[in-house]
Chains A and B, each alone.
Chain A
Amino acid sequence: MVLGLDAQNQAALLKVVILGLIAAVAIGSRLFSIVRYESVIHEFDPWFNYRTTRHLVSNGFYDFWNWFDERSWYPLGRVVGGTVYPGIMVTSAVIHNILHALNFPVDIRNICVLLAPLFSAFTAVAAYLLTVEIKDSSAGLLAAAFIGVAPGYISRSVAGSYDNEGIAIFLLVFTFYLWIKALKLGSAFWGAWTALFYFYMVAAWVPFVGFMPTRTSEHMAALGIFGLLQIFAFVELVRTHLSTTQFQILFRGFIFVSFIAMFSALVFLTYSGYIAPWTGRFYSLWDTGYAKKYIPIIASVSEHQPTAWPSFFFDLEMLIFLFPAGTYLCFRELRDEHVFVILYGITASYFAGVMVRLMLTLTPIVCVTSAVALSWLLDTYLDVSTLEFLPEEQERSQNSSFDNKVPEKSGKREKHSPDKTKKGSQNSSRIPDKKKKKEYYGILGIDTRMIIGMNFIFFLWIFMWHCTWVTSTAYSSPSIVLASRGADGSNYIIDDFREAYYWLRKNTDYSAKILSWWDYGYQIAGMADRTVLVDNNTWNNTHIATVGRALASDENVAYEILRRHDVDYVLIIFGGLLGYSGDDINKFLWMIRIAEGVYPDEVKEKNFFNDRGEYRVGDEATPTMRNSIMYKMSYYNYNELFGGQATDRVRGTRLSPGKIKMHTLEEAYTTENWIVRIFKVKDLDNIGRTLEQAAGFELGKKRRRGAKKRVGGRRNKSS
């Protein structure tokens, strides 16, 4: 008796305490980014979510729902209310309002920053509940511990990573739990909860659904299953009213006719345009090369790339080899919930192989199955009760009865039985036979237990070590602030992005329009509060292609595009000085490809590859490349910084000497480490010259007199 509780209550208390500790660990390990940097929103998409949340908090839900954002996608604007995933914003706003109602004046930013860690604690609890349904509570605790620290999930849920995935994974796991619960109990109560949480998940992950499920091919399968269930119920009904033979004939005929009818209806509706054909994103799930060929805008996103195999180990470590074992164990029992787990595991692992991003959906099921496998192993090897019996007599009574928690596995056990017997007999000499008799199965030898036990304690220790290390090194960088280490181990903070955005915020007109590649759209809108042309919500490919075309064109063509879109400033990312490889020159090929997709006559990718088929900067760059404003802006004044000839440290190339001249753009701001460069678009010349002439005049160059053409063409030599 501890604390005056009986064994059952002690177990319950322990579970609660353990779950509480797991939740604390889950939250704690996600706080690296706050400790290292500060409480800021990370990356790109979270900035949009943060901005919309602020809008929701300050303007209310009605305004949020009907929000037309005129400060992005200039001049098209974006209907935010109808296209956004509202779940996460509403969640934060509700938390914010509750806290404020309780007189906790917490800033909305901190709520947004800490939302994902908070929900990761919930996820751990949900994973526990789900795994309890699959196996038992010890497996559940393991699953909770795994998902609490698995890097595959942490990658999207560190503090500051304010994205839909942060709450959607919790909702996903919890919905599955409720679904399995409803399935097992056949209870409408649980079914209703499932529906409710499913709705919440959809709200957090899928934009306002509307008629999508009936109008797009992706959703046809679900709709078909729904239809099939109706037919199935109908058939069951008919069966009760008819004799067997009659039913057989009717059934076959009915199946045939309904299949033909539905299929032809599907084909007809698809061709007549009622049902949208498969979208590109869907095709790219099956053919990983598809996107690169047809929809560069999808392929250009790094998280849409196929997964490299080391990243499975990086994100899941030992879970990845426990995962098949767990799936196998599910096959051995094969109840409804196990079938679900198997299906989920198999499809998720396929899709995780296709797209890096989908590693996230694989992680929960891997944690659950691995927990099942590990818990099995521990059940077998750490079952203390098997230590307390007389081995000699019990050896031959193996197949009598088992602990009801352990499923049947007679084949395997018999196979191993001689081995066990041997160990058992060895052990028998050491273990004093003193305790009462008890039926037994499993492992007897303490050495085997020790080996396996120590081994897995070591594995688990390494797993924790790895998870913490990965979280700390790989997933805790806010990516708006970079850190690097000097040779002496000192830490340098590279804060160029915020420097540039703050400059924009303080030094440009409130209505200034900023052109940049779409990656930085959300950040500019969020941090600089200026109007952008394109952002990370890539809803209008043409507009993005126009921006790509402007950046890939020479000055005169680009100037017309910039003027037409009222652009005041152009912002680019240049890593050449620092060796920051995620810069715009490295992304440039994607811009060109996307632009070529829409403007095949104006932009040609092959013009950016030199004779040897290489994409180069410096001396070997093609003329088209050199003349593009992206190239000119990137290397503008760069040679002068080095007093002659500069080296691009990302591409490892020496640049061609000489000054880069621009007449339509002028440098407005360059950050400390040259990562962000901002250029101002010049106005038309006041007195009607071309900007090239005006720039020439500024430099003291006189206009040539060659324009003088004599009427008859005769001209004396002396003059």
Chain B
Amino acid sequence: MNTSNRTTSFFLFFLVICFIILSTSITTTKAAPIPKKSKDDDNDNNKQSLISANIGAVGPLDVGASATINSDNDVNTSGGVLLVLLVGFNSHNVQAKSATGERVLVLLDDEADKALYSQFFKTLEDRKYTFSYKTASDPKVDLLAFNERAFDHVINFAPKTKNYDNKVNPAAFIDFVNRGGNILLAASSGLSETIRDFAREFDIEFDDRDTSVIDHFNYDVSDSDGKHTLLVLDDKKGGFTNNSMILSQETLEGPPILYKGIGHKIGTVPLLTRVAWITSNTAYSYETKEDQIADQDPFILGSDISLVSALQARNNARVTFVGSLELFQDSSLNSPVQKINSKESHPKSGNQAFVDDLTKWTFQEKGVLKVTARRHHLEGEEEPLETYRIKDNIVYSIEISEYTNEKWQPFNGTDVQLEVIMLDPYIRRTLTPLEIQPQNHHNSRIFESHLQLPDVYGVFTFKVNYKRPGYSYIIDMTTVAVRPFRHNEYPRFILAAYPYYAGAASMSVGFLVFSTVWIFNKDRSATKEDKKNN
């Protein structure tokens, strides 16, 4: 299988090279820079562009709709168009640990800042990501190439850059997310307005410039300047999400985490998840200038202060906001932790495990689900029908894979539900997870339900709408028509109708008898009359 895949890959690769050469020679533009990538990298990208180019040719207006929601009747397609989708094509020979790709763009305020995060980037490189380091103000940087995503993930460590002269601005970032790219964004007290505007689109409101989260009762001993902004986050139960997809057990049980940075407040958008926040009531967010006058109330206090928040967009792109650049720096990754007024001390902070978890989740290494197949058919049959009859007994099943430990495995959830909807849900049922069959080559688990269709005709949608925090969303829709009985499908002889049968039968018999009698009588009387007349 692998060899055939390779061959196909190479074939496609050459095709695309030809295509690119052709297109560049035709357009005669100034040598548009082709992003340099590794061979395999190129492969992946080109396949994608080929395929989407095809989609584009079919109907430019519809790309979004047809690629995201599969509401037609084609079932049983193992490649299945998925909402979940992200990039299913290359799942077998993915190099990085991410389910979606390995190209990472790192944006920095200054090229030199790279050294500050060397350990962080090293761990990512170990996970086989490929990096492009750019300053955010670099005029050449572009998230797109040939109208396709040029990167799979963006790490934005450039909160201070105010004016993006290039194509990297909030609108471009949101476009990037809409195209399925993931973003890890770290802010700091010196947050520019551009980033603030960007975050606001995600319903996240960072506090004003130059503010920091301050807690005079809860800081690290090394915080010696008296501002008390280097916080020790040790309330692992209350101050962190307990979602096992986002934060691993290891992190939650490990040493406290050092945090120094800005706080934010999250809005009501349901796609948002708080990852880390303040639990102590003594914390507040305020400016840390020298000689300042406290003439205004703080923007956020206590447990309203969020430190790390994550949003998974409807297309499953993940965006994580961290209020602290220091969190990722080598200094805090290796720093010992000792809370003030506490004897408990740790030789190393829990930051490394924490940022690992954040990147794993954000870059789609964990909690990624996809539907590999869906089926519906009559009980006792195999073939799906486009039209069922009311009150038919049918079987609906859906196969779901989960991406963990670098490969697709059967998903182990137990709460996947099916809804049968025509304007309103007529049936809502939890699907039964089946045991894994050895021949199941999808590495997925079948969730199945036996159900009787409602006694109402119309166009019904089988909808699996599985949205759990931390996991990518599944919205899988299949529409089928449910028709009424055909005229000859009704029961033939029913007890209540016997009077009618009797009526019809007696009428027919009576008619026959009457005609016979009448015909013979007529003959005789006619002859008699004739005789009389004669």
User: Residues on A close to B: CB < 8 A?
Assistant: 65-66, 68, 70, 74-77, 79, 81, 507-511, 564-566, 568, 668, 680, 683-689, 693, 697-698, 700, 702-703, 707-708, 710-716, 719
Contacts and interface: CB of A to CB of B under 8 A. Distances in A.
A695 to B, nearest CB: 12
Contacts, number: 124
A688 B459 CA distance: 29
Contact of B177 (A686, A698, A708): A686
B178 interface: yes
Interface of B: 59, 61-62, 64-66, 68, 71-73, 171, 174, 177-178, 197, 200-203, 205, 208, 269-272, 295-301, 311, 313-315, 317, 319, 387, 422-423, 457-461, 479, 481-484, 486-487
B201 A715 contact: no
Contact of A68 (B178, B271, B484): B484
A715 B301 CA distance: 15
A66 B297 CA distance: 73
A687 B460 contact: no
Contact of A716 (B295, B457, B479): B295
Contact of A75 (B313, B460, B483, B484): B460
Nearest to B389: A68
B65 A75 contact: no
A699 B269 CA distance: 22
Nearest to A700: B171
B457 A687 contact: no
Contacts of A689: 201, 203, 269
Contacts of A74: 459
Contacts of A715: 296-297
Given A509-B59, A510-B72, A687-B319, 8 more contacts: A66-B487, A68-B481, A70-B387, A508-B59, A511-B73, A566-B71, A668-B61, A687-B178
A565 B65 contact: no
B472 to A, nearest CB: 13
23 contacts: A81-B487, A507-B61, A509-B66, A566-B461, A568-B65, A685-B314, A686-B177, A686-B178, A687-B202, A687-B311, A688-B314, A689-B269, A697-B174, A702-B200, A703-B200, A710-B297, A711-B297, A711-B299, A712-B297, A713-B297, A716-B296, A719-B208, A719-B296
Contacts of B72: 509-511
A79 B205 CA distance: 54
A702 B300 CA distance: 22
B299 A687 contact: no
A75 B202 contact: no
B201 A511 contact: no
A688 B272 contact: yes
B208 A68 contact: no
Nearest to B489: A66
Contacts of B271: 687-688
Contacts of B311: 687-688
Given A683-B64, A711-B299, A688 B458 contact: no
A282 to B, nearest CB: 28
A70 B457 CA distance: 9
Contacts of B64: 683
Contacts of B483: 66, 68, 70, 77, 79
Given A68-B484, A680-B61, A714-B296, A686 B314 contact: yes
Contacts of A507: 59, 61-62
Contacts of A700: 171
Contact of B457 (A77, A81, A710, A713): A77
A77 B203 contact: no
A283 B460 CA distance: 37
Nearest to A69: B481
Nearest to A565: B423
A712 B313 CA distance: 33
B468 to A, nearest CB: 16
Given A708-B299, A711-B298, A75 B487 contact: no
Report the 8 A-B pairs with minimum CB-CB distance, sorted nearest first.
Answer: A712-B297, A70-B481, A68-B483, A688-B269, A66-B486, A75-B459, A688-B271, A714-B297
Contacts of A77: 457-459, 481-483
Contacts of A712: 297
Contacts of A716: 295-296
A688 B313 contact: yes
Contacts of B459: 70, 74-77
Nearest to A74: B459
B77 to A, nearest CB: 15
A697 B387 contact: no
A530 to B, nearest CB: 13
Chain A CB within 10 A, most for which of B61, B171, B178, B301: B61
A687 B296 contact: no
Given A75-B458, A508-B62, A511-B71, A686 B313 contact: yes
Contacts of B71: 511, 566
A308 B269 CA distance: 60
B392 to A, nearest CB: 13
Contacts of B297: 710-715
A683 B64 CA distance: 9
A192 to B, nearest CB: 14
B65 to A, nearest CB: 7
A703 B198 CA distance: 10
